[in-house]
Amino acid sequence: MITKKYISLAIDCYAVIKMAIDPVCNMEVDEATAKWKAEYKGKTYYFCAPGCKTAFEADPEKYLSGGGGHHH
């Protein structure tokens, strides 16, 4: 129905805006529900698991300089 279609479209929009990329494993993380975050150089990074957060904090530069998201 029309109402249903409208709602799913709104959710889609919301998801696109609020998704962050976990810099360690490049997974999409929902900023609203992310349990693990770290601040580095004034930017907030979101992680899918505590292990990713620990790895990032141990060596942030490795993850920020190494990956641009293109590995092909």
Q: Which residues bind Zn ion (CB under 5 A)?
A: 22, 24-25, 27, 48, 52
If the CB atoms of residues 13 and 51 are measured against Zn ion, the closer one turns out to be 51
- Taking the least distance from each CB to Zn ion, the nearer of 7 and 51 is 51
Report the DSSP beta bridge partners of residue 57: none
If you search the block for the tokens 């300089």, which residue do you land on? 65
Rg for the chain (alpha carbons), in Å?
15
C-beta of 8 vs 39, nearer to Zn ion: 39
- C-alpha–C-alpha distance, residues 72 and 39, integer Å: 29
Cβ 1 to Zn ion shortest distance, Å: 38
